[in-house]
Amino acid sequence: MRLLQAAVAVLAWIGIGLSTIFWTLVIALVYAGHPFWDPQLKFAHRIASVWGRGLVSLAPGSRVTLTGREHLPAGRPVIFMANHQSYVDVPALFFVPAQFKWMADMDLFRIPVFGWAMAMAGYIPVRRGDGREAVRSLQKAERLLKQGISVFIFPEGTRSHTGVLGRFQSGGFRLAAESGVPIVPVVVSGTRQLLPRGTWIFRWGVRIWIDLLPAMDPPANRREIRPRMADLRARMREAAHRRLKDLR
Residue 133 has pLDDT above 80, yes or no: no
Pick 16 or 129 by higher pLDDT.
16
Split into its structural domains, the chain has a count of 1
Handedness of CA 81, 83, 88, 93 (dihedral sign): negative
pLDDT confidence bin for 177, thresholds 50/70/90: very high
The one-character DSSP state at 201 is P
Residue 119 has pLDDT above 70, yes or no: yes
pLDDT in tens, 32-53: 766 677 888 888 889 889 989 9
Q: Whose CA is closest to 156, among 192, 181, 120?
A: 192
Greatest mean pLDDT range, 6-10, 69-73, 210-214: 210-214
Domain range for 93 is 2-247
Residue 1 has pLDDT above 70, yes or no: no
pLDDT in tens, 186-230: 999 999 999 887 888 888 888 999 999 999 999 998 899 999 999
Torsion angle defined by CA atoms of residues 192, 193, 199 and 201, in that order, rounded to the nearest 10 degrees: -130
Residue 169 has pLDDT above 80, yes or no: yes
C-beta of residue 92 within 8 angstroms of C-beta of residue 188: yes
Share of the chain above pLDDT 90, in %: 48
Instruction: Give the pLDDT mean for 7-26.
Output: 88
Cα-trace Rg, the chain: 18
| CATH code: domain of residue 236 | 3.40.1130.10
Residue 78 has pLDDT above 90, yes or no: yes
Residue 87 has pLDDT above 80, yes or no: yes
| Coil, strand or helix at 181 | coil
- The β-bridge relationship of strands 207-212 and 150-153 is unpaired
Pick 143 or 8 by higher pLDDT.
143
Question: What pLDDT is stored for residue 248 in this prediction?
Answer: 60
C-beta of residue 68 within 8 angstroms of C-beta of residue 98: no
